Amino acid sequence: MTPLILFYVAGFVTLASAILAITRTNASHALIYLVVALLAIAVIFFLLGSPFAAALQIVVYAGAIVVLFLFVVMMLNLGKSSVARERELLTRGIWTLPSLLALVLFAVVLFALVSGDHEAGAQARMIEPKEVGIALYTKYVLAVELAGVLLLAALVGAYHLGRRYLADRREEEESS
C-alpha cells in the first residue's frame, strides 16, 4: 500500500510544481519549480521499479540541464520589468488553446486507461542498471547511435558559432 500512497504524493507534487513552473512570472522561481517537478518524476520512476532511470533523471535533467537554464537566466539580469512583461504574456487568449489541446490528450489517456488492458502495469518489477545497458546496446543500438549523431551535430554547431565569434573579435582587435 505504501508505494501507492507515495506514487500519488509524487504525482501530485509533479503536477502542482509543473503548473507553478508555467504560471510563475519570475523566471528563476519558475525554474526551481521545474526542478521540483523533475525530482518528483524521479521519485515516480523509482516507485515504478527503475532506480537507474530515477538516478539518471536527477543527474541529467535536474542536475545538468536546468542548471544551464538557470545559468542563462542569471546572465540575462532579469529584473522587475521582465516580470511585468511576463505577466502581460500570460493572457487568457494565449493559454486557452494549449489547455484545450492538453485536455483532449488527457481524455485520450483516460480512455486508454479505462478501456485498455493492464498487463504491462502488473508486470512491473525492479530493473537492474545492467539490464538497461544490455538493452541499450543490443535491442536499441540504432537509437543510441542516432542520438550520438544528433549530439555530435549540436556539438559541431556550437563550435562553429563560437569560432565565428572568436574570429570576429580577432579582426576587431587587429583593426583597432
Partner 1 sequence: MFGIEDFWSYALILPVAVGVLLGALVLVWWERRLLGWWQDRLGPNRVGWFGSLQALADLIKLLTKDDWLPPFGDRVFFILAPIIVTAAMLLAFVVVPFTPVLVIVESNIALLWFLAMSAMAVYGVLLGGLSSNNKYALLGGLRAAAQMVTYEVFLALSILGVVMLSGSFSLVDIVENQRDGLWHFIPQALGLVIFVIAGLAETHRLPFDLPEAEHELTAGFHTEYSGMKFGLIMAAEYVALILLSCLIVILFFGGWLGPSFLPPVVWFGIKVVIVINFFILLRAAIPRPRYDQLMSLGWKILLPLTLVNILATGAWVLGTQG
Among 121, 129, 148, 162, binds partner 1 (CB under 8 A): 129
| CB of 28 or CB of 99, closer to partner 1 | 28
Minimum CB distance to partner 1, residue 66 (Å): 9
Total residues contacting partner 1 (rule CB under 8 A)? 24
Mask for 6-45, x = binds partner 1 (CB under 8 A) = ----------------------x---x--x----------
Residue 80 binds to partner 1 (criterion: CB under 8 A)? no
Amino acid letter for position 126: M
Contact, 6 vs 43, CB < 8 A?
Answer: yes
Minimum CB distance to partner 1, residue 28 (Å): 6
Q: Mapping DSSP to helix (H, G, I), strand (E, B) and coil, where does residue 89 land?
A: helix
Report the candidate in 144, 120, 149, 148 with the shortest Cα–Cα distance to residue 132.
144
Q: Which three cell numbers stand for residue 140?
A: 536499441
Neighbours of 17 (CB within 10 A): 21
Among 20, 49, 52, 83, binds partner 1 (CB under 8 A): 52
Report the candidate in 80, 5, 2, 69 with the shortest Cα–Cα distance to residue 33.
69
Residue 49 binds to partner 1 (criterion: CB under 8 A)? no
